[in-house]
Structure 1
């Protein structure tokens, strides 16, 4: 298995082990409107990033009503089946859209703000590029005809006043995918993701070192994840949701902020208190470290892991928005996912 790299966005995602119960949950939580037909495209590891991306674009267009429009995403619900993709988060409000970038003249203008705001682009092959930061008129480019654009902002009102300029509006073509093979490949990729993967090869582009296999695993486990230069994701393996856990770690000193989110066995949030963030002012220890607890009701910095979780297990994703050099260099004490301990 590939070495676990430093690994929120968005993310970013985890899923089923091989019990009958888990397979049933995965099937229901990852269902799509596209059904199997005689002429449907069989999904393999090779074309999975394109298949998942095509299906995600279709879902977005259902909300926007067409290309070159933003949809203001609501806060992700705690009901797993109603979440847009695996490993969503509540770290920032965001808006999304599918844009025709074939004209080479597409711009998104972000209103003035001194708060964190980024623009990320994901193309039809699940290749991404460095995020665009801050307010202003930003050019949107991609290798494919259409691209997904997500604007994340701590100041939620920013999303209501985005201005789009586009030189063309070619409709996006949704393909027919064989959903039986899709779900089988999706389940394998999600399992590989939770076992450990290389973020630098999963989220990026061919020029940055993205590989076909890691692109597949990244799409299955955290579709739309960011490059390591922008966000670093640190993920735990699956743990028994009937236990109590804690982890103490050094202050990550992120440029922007850090967050921790828990997910069920299908990579979905399941509780309104599923996350904690440095932006929410968690209690800090006297020595400057942080201790996060899981399943320790009534304790400081606690995240529920059982209430609402029907899969019997959970894992944790720690996101670093603007990672510090210590986190980027994987210095000792800066990857808490390696030192989680059970305390019950």
Structure 2
């Protein structure tokens, strides 16, 4: 997802906008600025409010990705809803596969995910909110039912482009250097802090709360090399995945990820060894082909994290063990 970080593209949107003097963007208002622009892009793509867009598999071209650190772990449907009526319901059809609903408001505050089929009331603190359905049942998306009154318009604000891009770049760098997930992807009541909210938006807009998903991020490595990591089975309630990104936080080839849903080869002792840039070897993700930044890092996602992962037990964070292979 890269549209939002390119303000020139946003200028082409047809959603209702405000022609005021540009608003200077800084750390304090970056979560609102980025979210406002991303909402506008989603509304444009979906063809209006309260209308789900079935997201295609993300492109391998970094310039075509909607935001930083997208992934191909699940199928997605997304929309921006007007929730001011408090009468919006989403019905998820029956399925035995993983499916969740996540809500992100205009201040980039999120909530616990809603799990499974059924008719669900959708609410948020702000009038408009981003709603994303994640599922391993891609056909399910054709039968999602939305009940919502006629929406009131969404307004795109006039954000200052140079200050936006500067603030985004600095926040993305801070994210890559290490951040506190519970303070970034959460809400005020659950411990979200203004600075971590800013860093989380710049580095991974729309991330989930730690009770639902845990993200583990590696440092950056030189893309000219072969790396590997061996780790114990994370025992996620649902599944785990590892995705490789370039120095800017974007996927860059068609083999960007591996997950427990892809039946990766296990070692005899039940551990897993993942490889990066080790052509021809099992469980390998390329790190050089299509990567113009010269470096890469790995993000491990735990969908329904086990207690061992949640408690930070040794051996359950594979990003800590990535080393250059002999």
TM-score by length of structure 2 reads 0.95
Gaps of 5+ in 2: 12-18
CA distance in 2: counterparts of 1:310 and 1:29, whole angstroms: 21
Deviations 1:172-210 (A, max 9, x none): 111111111111000000000010010000001000000
| Equivalent position of 1:94 in the other structure | 76
Matched, 1:113 2:95: yes
SS of equivalent to 1:220: helix
CA distance in 2: counterparts of 1:284 and 1:102, whole angstroms: 49
CA distance in 2: counterparts of 1:270 and 1:261, whole angstroms: 11
Matched, 1:323 2:305: yes
Contact between 2:241 and 2:259, CA under 8 Å: does it hold in 1?
yes
Higher relative contact order (CA 8 A, sep 6+): 1
Matched, 1:255 2:237: yes
CA distance in 1: counterparts of 2:4 and 2:117, whole angstroms: 36
Cα drift, residue 90 of structure 1: 0.3
Contact between 1:29 and 1:81, CA under 8 Å: does it hold in 2?
no
Alignment of 1:298-337 (within 5 A): 298-337=280-319
CA distance in 2: counterparts of 1:80 and 1:198, whole angstroms: 26
CA distance in 2: counterparts of 1:55 and 1:240, whole angstroms: 33
| Equivalent position of 1:31 in the other structure | 6
CA distance in 1: counterparts of 2:257 and 2:161, whole angstroms: 31
Cα drift, residue 30 of structure 1: 3.4
Matched, 1:70 2:52: yes
SS of equivalent to 1:269: coil
Matched, 1:265 2:247: yes
SS of equivalent to 1:176: coil
Cα drift, residue 145 of structure 1: 0.5
Q: 2:36 aligns with which of 51, 54, 68?
A: 54
- Displacement over 4 Å in runs of 4+: none
Q: Aligned pairs, how many?
A: 318
Contact between 1:34 and 1:179, CA under 8 Å: does it hold in 2?
no
CA distance in 2: counterparts of 1:204 and 1:279, whole angstroms: 27
SS of equivalent to 2:39: helix
Do the aligned partners of residues 216 and 302 (structure 1) sit closer, same or farther apart at CA in structure 2, a change above 3 Å counting?
Answer: same
Contact between 2:4 and 2:34, CA under 8 Å: does it hold in 1?
no
Instruction: Quote the RMSD (CA, aligned, Å).
Output: 1.5
Q: 1:292 aligns with which of 268, 271, 274?
A: 274
Cα drift, residue 29 of structure 1: 9.5
Do the aligned partners of residues 110 and 38 (structure 1) sit closer, same or farther apart at CA in structure 2, a change above 3 Å counting?
Answer: closer
Contact between 1:117 and 1:153, CA under 8 Å: does it hold in 2?
yes
TM-score by length of structure 1 reads 0.90
